[in-house]
Structure 1
Amino acid sequence: MATVPDHFSQFAAIDWSGAKGSSHPGIALALCEAGDAAPVIVDPPGKAWSRTEILDWLRARANTPLLVGFDFSFSPPFLERGAYLPGESVTTNPRDFWAYVDAHSPDADLGAASFLEDRRGTHFYLGAADGAKADFMHLRRVEAHHKANGGGKPTTVYDAIGAAQVAKASFAGMRVLYHLGGAIPVWPLDPIPENGACIVEIYTAIAARASGLRKGLSKLRDAAALDTALAAIGSRPHVPLARYTDHATDAILTAAWLRANAHRRELWQPVAMTPEIARTEGWTFGVP
């Protein structure tokens, strides 16, 4: 069993979306090879990616030496309260919880907005009518650890309102991971593979900080700024884009960051990540 993988030769970052519908401009997929060439945006089969198409793209590459970073939370907090949804779910590991979310989400294209809306005020905050927002701000251990070490204010999957919310994207992502089954290992819920693909949770702001972008100014909206950030993490300039969006530039920069940091033992063996945390909540790759 590998403790630090050394077989990856391709690196992908996926900027994710939990939006309703089946065509999502908010999804961007960037891919790069080993070396220093900048990641390129992978065009969707149609006008925009669907979540199902991303699922198919991953399945087709299960045996490829590919490290994939998804920009959503793979699990709600568990350890803080002893349950993902206290008083409702009795599952104790993310895979069983993904199955629960999938079974209770009839939304199109592996969406999960209805899962949150049906539980607003009980488990999820969607507005002032749901009560005090502070009552919903429960954190996973990795989020609390990242905050305590200067990582900034974390978000929680129970907060489903505002531009910074990750709730809808995360629960939709959990459905994708459920349907992927065991085709690709998901770290750290699964052991690090010695061959083939592996999926990790990422936080694009970590890549932005590593490239020198200051907190609050992590969005790249032009070619020059993107190339400056890429150079800071050892990548050559990118192929010009027809349109610069936060989604595309986040994916490009984070794919390059994944490539530059995939060898770091401390990111695969975080000191603060206990076996219990790994089993029940997972971890964000890039948080040592």
Structure 2
Amino acid sequence: MTPQRFTRFAAIDWSGAKGNRHRGIAVGLCEAGSAAPVLVRPPGGIWSRAGVLDWVRDQAASDTLIGFDFSFAPPWIERGAYLPGLPAPDSARAFWRWIDATCDDADLGAASFLERHRGSHFYLGAADGAKADFLHFRRCEARYNANGGGKPSTVYDAIGAAQVAKASFAGMRLLRHLGEQMPVWPFDPAPRSGGCVVEIYTTIAARAAGLRKGLSKLRDRDALDTALAVFGSHPHDPATFTQGRASPIPIYDDHATDALLTAAWLRANAHRAELWSPAPLTPHIAQTEGWTFGVT
């Protein structure tokens, strides 16, 4: 089934940082049509991960497609286990529960888990050995690389500005708490009504908008509008409104522009059958590793 009935599209730029509030989180939202995406105003002015979870739950009954920019599961196919040597389950939903049970970090964080297993499973610096020994990838990431997209980060690498490892494991805790309240594709079939959560990679939207490798970040008004226009979107208004609440863009940072552009990309591409049924996606991959929406 190709879900063509979504009427709202959200993209969430995520963060695995320690603490309770995170300036690295941004939520972009657009309606069906061509109006520009807007930023959702966070409660208290800065998003918490728990606040994002509450917001997503509130969308469950609406026809909203929600994309999160983190890896929904570690690689399994490559080594036949998520974390060889640890008693981790062999399916994604069970793994989410296991990770959540082992973490007591604030605000659904998971940094302590990575730190406890650094060197054996996660690379946090030169003291952990050769970084190449930690570079394991999911099948969707291998596919993306084979198609010329470049090599994405791995959830076992906790070094660098992106911090994809901390973000992803924190995100898995959120998915565990989301539970059965909203389907998570492809672990669940795309629903015929209501909301749905998918994994996104904001770089896919940037490439589709014509931004070159290494130059995929938008940091001014004109660049954002040029990129939005590729997806049939009207120019954005820096003083936008969501549900009647002012949500201005105080600064054109990567988080805000990534969320806005990717929301517009989701709206323009959610109808494409091949994105919901990519050829390499087997039932086993769907239940263990998942898939990034947009990788074919």
CA distance in 2, matches of 1:246, 1:164: 11
Residue number in structure 1 paired with 2:295: 287
Query: What letter is aligned with 2:46?
Result: A
Cα shift at 1:221: 0.2
Q: Contact 2:88 / 2:98 at 8 angstroms: preserved in 1?
A: no
The correspondence of residues 13-92 of structure 1 with structure 2, limited to 5 A, is 13-92=11-90
CA distance in 2, matches of 1:26, 1:156: 19
Query: What letter is aligned with 2:92?
Result: P
Does structure 1 residue 93 correspond to structure 2 residue 91?
yes
Picking from 253, 263, 275, the partner of 1:267 is 275
Does structure 1 residue 192 correspond to structure 2 residue 190?
yes
CA distance in 2, matches of 1:64, 1:47: 24
Q: Residue 46 of structure 1: SS of its match in structure 2?
A: helix
The correspondence of residues 235-250 of structure 1 with structure 2, limited to 5 A, is 235-240=233-238, 241-250=249-258
Cα shift at 1:180: 0.6
CA distance in 1, matches of 2:126, 2:75: 22
Cα shift at 1:89: 2.9
CA distance in 1, matches of 2:17, 2:161: 12
Q: Residue 157 of structure 1: SS of its match in structure 2?
A: coil
Cα shift at 1:90: 3.6
Cα shift at 1:252: 0.1
Q: Contact 1:156 / 1:165 at 8 angstroms: preserved in 2?
A: no
Residue number in structure 2 paired with 1:112: 110
CA distance in 1, matches of 2:160, 2:87: 26
Q: Contact 2:16 / 2:163 at 8 angstroms: preserved in 1?
A: no
Query: What letter is aligned with 1:49?
Result: W
Q: Residue 12 of structure 1: SS of its match in structure 2?
A: strand
Q: Contact 1:29 / 1:248 at 8 angstroms: preserved in 2?
A: yes
Cα shift at 1:272: 1.1
Q: Contact 1:83 / 1:89 at 8 angstroms: preserved in 2?
A: no
Indicate the percent of aligned positions where both proteins have the same amino acid.
Answer: 70
Cα shift at 1:267: 0.3
Structure 2 residues without counterparts, runs of 5 or longer:
239-248
CA distance in 2, matches of 1:153, 1:63: 36
Query: What letter is aligned with 1:10?
Result: R
Does structure 1 residue 127 correspond to structure 2 residue 125?
yes
CA distance in 1, matches of 2:151, 2:180: 33
Cα shift at 1:165: 3.5
CA distance in 2, matches of 1:201, 1:17: 14
CA distance in 2, matches of 1:51, 1:242: 21
Q: Residue 141 of structure 2: SS of its match in structure 1?
A: helix
Q: Contact 2:17 / 2:167 at 8 angstroms: preserved in 1?
A: yes
Cα shift at 1:126: 0.2
Cα shift at 1:242: 2.4
Q: Residue 10 of structure 2: SS of its match in structure 1?
A: strand
CA distance in 2, matches of 1:280, 1:89: 15
Query: What letter is aligned with 1:151?
Result: G
| TM-score of the two chains, using structure 2 as the length reference | 0.95
Q: How many pairs does the alignment contain?
A: 286
Cα shift at 1:47: 2.3
Q: Residue 45 of structure 2: SS of its match in structure 1?
A: coil
Q: Residue 44 of structure 2: SS of its match in structure 1?
A: coil
